[in-house]
Chains A and B, each alone.
Chain A
Amino acid sequence: MWKWLHPYANPEVSYHFTGKLIPWFTAISVILLVLGLGLALAFSPADYQQGESVRIFYLHVPAAMLSMGIYLGMAIAALTALVWQLKLAEASIAALAPIGATFTAIALLTGAAWGKPMWGTWWIWDARLTSELILLFLYLGVIALQNAFEDKSLAGKAASVLAIVGVVNLPIIHYSVEWWNTLHQGSTVSKLERPSMSADMFIPFVVCLFGFAFLVARIFGERFRAEIIARNSMRPWVKALVLAQEKN
């Protein structure tokens, strides 16, 4: 059933395959981000209560959603790394963690910038903000474990265990606004019913979300390739690659 996947477990095949995808991801993310951010920042209407501050939302919500999405992806890679002992899965954890940490930090900082004018405070220890901060610490923990051991495979294992265990935090972040009363408002766009948002704000948001998602894919591709090269530097195909580049 999974036979078609097997060739991609080979670092060399994966390296070249990712290389082919990167220009596409670059193009798609540039187009979507120019379109989405243009619509969001210049053409979408101001909110009836928040005024212009609502525009922070077009960066804050995609960053927050992606910070959780990236973590889920990292945890799945960690499961694969532990159970199937796939070296490439360990490389992808190393490639994903810093991207996720950055997006979590963006979500926290833009949230604080919105909270000050709207709520009246930069920070409050409510369930949503605190659990998102814990997500940042989980990412930093994974990065730290990755670099704490000389032995790459031991480091990969330790980071994988933390990444899998931390997945417990994801439903807590998502449902925090329902389970407890918080200062943070409830979900707007991931509600199952009609989103509580008018279409001329929702469409720019969706375009931005996909734009940032492809940006993540593009950065991941680049980092993943670098990780593959770093972990296979003694292999003949990498040496051949370097020699070929020196000739040009």
Chain B
Amino acid sequence: MNPRRKKRLTIVVSILAGVAAVAGFTLYALNQNIDLFYTPTEIVQGKADSGIKPTVGQRIRVGGLVVTGTVKRDPESLHVEFKLIDTGPMITVTYDSILPDLFREGQGIVAQGILISPTVLEASEVLAKHDEEYMPKEIAEAMGKDHKKLEYNKD
């Protein structure tokens, strides 16, 4: 390669390396702010690396799986209460509006709201999180996956 091209290549590569390093450090520094939600474990025990815990009254998002058998619906109103779990402790979410179609027990969801006590979130928005599994009904049934919409028990 002739020297002028070599020089230009060096300049371009070093600019790219510099920008990559800046972006890398920025993202590393902002790491926790880029996470969309806290997991239930992080709310109870704090973030794994920094130990930062959300405080009561703070507006946050929580993401986890809806614990089977914990969905309680008030027959008089839209009020619904359920527990969220990831790998550790559970937290309770209360919500007063219409749940998304994909909401069902065992489903991953993301709830945004205010932490009213160390383990209770008063949600103003509940979003369903979809996993990366795609399959037709027949296969899901063969694998024993529950695809039925949630049926609320009346009690």
Which residues of A line the B interface, CB within 8 A?
45-50, 54, 57, 79, 82-84, 117-121, 124-127, 161, 164-165, 167-168, 172, 179-183, 185-188, 191, 196-198, 200-201
Contacts and interface: CB of A to CB of B under 8 A. Distances in A.
Given A168-B20, A172-B27, A79 B135 contact: no
Interface stretch (B5-13, B72-80, B114-122): B5-13
Nearest to B135: A198
Given A180-B35, A183-B110, 19 more contacts: A45-B136, A47-B135, A47-B137, A79-B12, A118-B130, A120-B102, A120-B127, A121-B125, A165-B19, A180-B34, A181-B36, A181-B63, A183-B36, A183-B63, A186-B132, A191-B132, A198-B134, A200-B136, A201-B136
30 contacts: A45-B138, A46-B137, A48-B145, A57-B134, A82-B8, A83-B9, A84-B5, A118-B100, A118-B101, A120-B100, A120-B126, A120-B127, A121-B125, A121-B127, A124-B36, A124-B127, A125-B36, A126-B36, A172-B27, A180-B35, A181-B63, A182-B36, A183-B129, A185-B130, A186-B131, A188-B133, A197-B135, A198-B135, A198-B136, A198-B139
A139 B137 CA distance: 40
A230 to B, nearest CB: 26
Contact size range, B:
35 or more
Contacts of A164: 12, 15-16
Q: Which secondary structure characterizes the binding site on chain A? A: loop
Nearest to A117: B101
A125 B33 CA distance: 11
B136 A165 contact: no
Contact of A49 (B8, B20, B127, B147): B147
Interface of B: 5, 8-9, 12, 15-16, 19-20, 23, 27, 31, 34-37, 39, 63, 100-102, 110, 125-141, 145, 147
B132 A48 contact: no
Given A45-B136, A168-B20, A118 B12 contact: no
B130 A50 contact: yes
A164 B14 CA distance: 11
B98 to A, nearest CB: 9
A40 to B, nearest CB: 12
B100 A119 contact: yes
B129 A83 contact: no
A118 B133 contact: no
B12 A83 contact: yes
Contacts of A188: 132-134
B134 A197 contact: yes
B129 A48 contact: no
A34 B128 CA distance: 33
Contacts of A79: 12
Across the A-B interface, the 7 shortest Cβ-Cβ residue pairs: A45-B136, A48-B140, A120-B100, A48-B147, A188-B132, A126-B36, A197-B134
Nearest to A129: B36
Contacts of B34: 127, 179-180
Given A83-B8, A164-B12, A180-B35, A118 B102 contact: yes
B137 A45 contact: yes
Nearest to B100: A120
Contact of A187 (B101, B132, B135, B147): B132
A64 B136 CA distance: 23
A165 B18 CA distance: 9
